[in-house]
Amino acid sequence: MIEYILCFILFCIGLYCVLRKRNIIKIVIGLGIVEYAVNLFFVLIGFRMHGRAPILAKDQTISNMVDPLPQALVLTSIVIGLAVTALIVAIAIRLYEKYGTFDITKIRRLRG
């Protein structure tokens, strides 16, 4: 149960970083931490105590495998997270070129 609570704390740190900070790079970092926490939570739910990895071995039957379904879902989610991070970084570089700052309130002020 402590593992779940630590995972929630990690999620809260990421949420705090996204909502409170005003630098775009800090917001990207916060989104990354939130994504890590969600991925970790999925895999924690599928873990079996003293289990084995979901890969069959030659000439033996394995009865106590961990749950492979969350691992399959998270595997696609990791690569999507990388692509989304690259997209946000591209937008941030473009904004820096246009406004000369990473501060979101200044960007809002210069609109129009």
Smallest gap from residue 75 Cβ to other proteins (A): 6
User: According to the binding rule CB under 8 A, does residue 10 interact with other proteins?
Assistant: yes
Query: Strand, coil or helix: what is 20?
Result: helix
User: According to the binding rule CB under 8 A, does residue 86 interact with other proteins?
Assistant: yes
Q: Which of 17, 12, 20 is nearest to 31 (CA)?
A: 17
Tokens 């105590």 belong to which residue? 49
Using CA atoms, how far residue 105 sits from 6, 22, 24, 26, 64, in Å, is 32, 7, 10, 14, 53
- Please count the residues of this chain forming the interface with other proteins, following the rule CB under 8 A: 78
Q: Which of 2, 60, 111, 112 binds other proteins (CB under 8 A)?
A: 2
What string marks each residue from 16 to 45 as x (binds other proteins by CB under 8 A) or -? xx-xxxxx-xx-xxx-xx--x--xx--xxx
Smallest gap from residue 45 Cβ to other proteins (A): 6
